[in-house]
Structure 1
Amino acid sequence: MMDILGFTGDRAKTFRIANPMSEEFPLLRTHLIPGLLTALQRNIGRGTKDLALFEMGSVFRNTQAPKSITLPTTNKKPDSKTISQIYGSVPKQMLFVGGVLSGNKSQDSWQGKGQLFTWSDAISAAVEIVESTGNSFEIVSTELAPWHPGRCAEIKVDGKAIAHAGELHPRVCATLNLPERTCVFAVIISELPLKEFSTAPQIWNMPPVVQDIALVVSKDVSAFALEKCLKVGAGNLLESISLFDRYDQIGDGKVSLAFTLTFRASDRTLTSDEVSKYRDSAVSAAAKEFGATLRG
């Protein structure tokens, strides 16, 4: 499985268990994805094709060769030094949360046509996990097996890669007989900085003013980078911003990204002219940094 997924480095180094519970799984796992994909295969084989599965558990990385020790006797309690030696003799353990999304996330009904899971759903799941810890983060595009090049996002906290999410490489899906565009994510929970306190959003009495914009940019521009630019350009009265549409059929290597911008002042009701000025400032910032244009 690790060869199929293209794992290298620490993700490919593991240990054989002396007394495995099953000879089908004789190795310490280095990632959650192989187990999640095995569970997906089993469910598909039993006729269930629309699935969203997750797991939280430890993985083992051979970042340093473990030290051999003499096992303590069982006739007395081991002291703190012995316990430290025991922990030092096993591979590094990291706590992960991972998930796999496959098939339809909603079914056809009288309300409309069903929707497939997409790689943005996997990214959203990973982002929600990281956001829940109260950490600031950034999202960048990356290439890492077993994800599809160009459809894999890396989430960084303090410059360190904490999570990867996106669509599986078509070769992996074909080899494992998985549905096309199966998506996975993995978050290293144990590497996230602990935040003792988090700030709750402030509640305002004044009403919000909402405006939508659709910007045409190069397909190389990530939605996260564009959103970050719009936040800076819109100023401090921007309460929230969210991506609600992506349209890829523009042509010429372009894509349309549509955002909802919510503005609010703490001391007054904003006028349409004020909000238009803030919106135009955000658009100007995007035009300057990414060559963005308003979609007509």
Structure 2
Amino acid sequence: MRKFIVGSRRSGLAMTQSKQFIASLEEKFPEAEFEIKEIVTKGDRIVDVQLSKVGGKGLFVKEIELALENKEIDMAIHSLKDVPSRLPEQFKIGCIPEREDMRDAFLSNNKVLFKDLPSGSIVGTSSLRRAAQLKSMRDDITVNWVRGNIDTRIKKMESGEYDAIILAAAGLKRMGWGDSRVTEYFDAEEFIPAIAQGALGIEIRRDDHELAEMLEAVHSTEDAICTSAERTFLRRMDGSCQVPIGGYATLEDGELYLTGLIMSEDGNEKYVVKKSGTDPEGLGNLVADEMEKIGAKEIIDKINEAQ
């Protein structure tokens, strides 16, 4: 069996989740050999500017896709929420492993609950979606931008620059920091996560049939169905990290439920649509249709025009 070169971002979290995924593959294919190639992306290099101002989520993907195209790597391990909803034609998502916790985690100094934060507290986030929801829940707090990897953000909070920060639960749990660092987890219904939050996407060349077959052994059909519905909604809404957009799907007794969120940046306008169905793409489109009917798409169009 050939040796597989795996592309990963260099951050501690990216390397940790890449190693965890490779371990699951090694368990199924002990005779295979895997090597990680670290790739520094534009998104990793630009840490002092809000992502939405410099080109959005694709910043974490482009250099890795270039390495995939040039056959320097055989597969790329991404956080699926960072992967644009439209892939270049020569690539595909080879598998979606079992999803980690999709919720957002609230971390605060002295473990103060969100509802108990004193008026005027400063909460750090790098996400427009999180910022808009925070503002809609509490108009007496200040939301400030924070960039950097998760340990950098935690250190900024602990040094007193922020009273609290919001991070993805999945990253903290993969690093083994969930229970010790998190003050509380926000319920997904009350604080809607990012599209595909908690899921990994393993990107490969479309013509690599041997690797595609191997990846089936670690593929989660349920999580693929749920994230397909979410990403269809995102694609239809022309959403990006320039737009406060979120959504999550769950599969219950064969029925698929998708909740979509679109908000204005100031948190004053909030549209939530929940629908059910059996076909993920059909359901993603159904929620998008409803969003268009109630006027939510106008928020996105205005933001995209301004960009």
- State if a TM-score over 0.5 links the two structures: no
Normalising to structure 1: TM-score of the pair? 0.25
Structure number with higher helix proportion: 2
The structure whose Rg is larger is 1
Higher relative contact order by CA 8 Å / sep ≥ 6: 1 or 2? 2
